[in-house]
Amino acid sequence: MEEKKSKVTLHGTWISPYSKRVEIALKLKGILYEYVEEDLQNKSESLIQQNPVHKKIPLLVHDGKPVAESLVILEYIDETWTNSPRFFPEDPYERAQVRFWVSYINQQVFEVTGQIMFQEGEAQAKSVEEARKRIKVLDEGLEKHFPNKNIRENDDVGLLEIIIIATFGVHKAHREAIGVEIISPVNTPTLYNWIERLQDLSVVKKVEVPHDKLVNFIQNYRQKCLQQAANA
């Protein structure tokens, strides 16, 4: 359990799924922390000094010791605060599967789904097709390797669940803002159900961004990026 004198600070941004990963992990462990909202156009001196290599969020500072990179931070949290829930299964093979699918989301899914927001026409259509293929692979992997997964309370959440909800929890806002559906109960039923059950948990509700706020941000940011690309 966390010691009383322990001081934890998280530097992040409200829109970042990487920040959301750490926020959820801290809430799951019941860790009291100070949150510092960073302006990525005008980063704080504290962020720059304590993360001199990347100068990026999220950054966790625990008793003056900085820890960078979201996955590194999540493992650090789990190893430092060993109370429930633990983020990895006890079984070595199950741990390997968790690490594999987390890596798959980070390396194979996240980038292509992100591209869709900044594209139009044929380019966007190609990215949507590719994203659907890759997310279908994820959906089938979840069904095969975690067939008996129950998500009913906060203690049912581990590393893979944190990554899934932080990455895909906003899929309905993206659909409304961009008009493209990537995740659905028909084509990706297992992933869709995981997200629905995770969103019902109190710990996720505490860090959720309001749907309308997300939709407005995505629409405005997309329009700004498309306009800049057109003027380039």
Give the pLDDT band of residue 1 (cuts 50, 70, 90).
very low
Question: CB atoms < 10 A from the CB of 165, how many?
Answer: 26
pLDDT at residue 8, as a whole number:
98
Give the pLDDT band of residue 2 (cuts 50, 70, 90).
very low
CA 71/CA 204 separation, integer angstroms = 18
Cα 7 to Cα 33, 75, 129, 169: the distances in Å are 7, 18, 46, 29
Q: Please state the rounded mean pLDDT for residues 151-176.
A: 96
Question: What digits encode the pLDDT tens for the residues 92-150?
Answer: 999 999 999 999 999 999 889 988 988 999 999 999 999 999 999 999 999 999 998 99
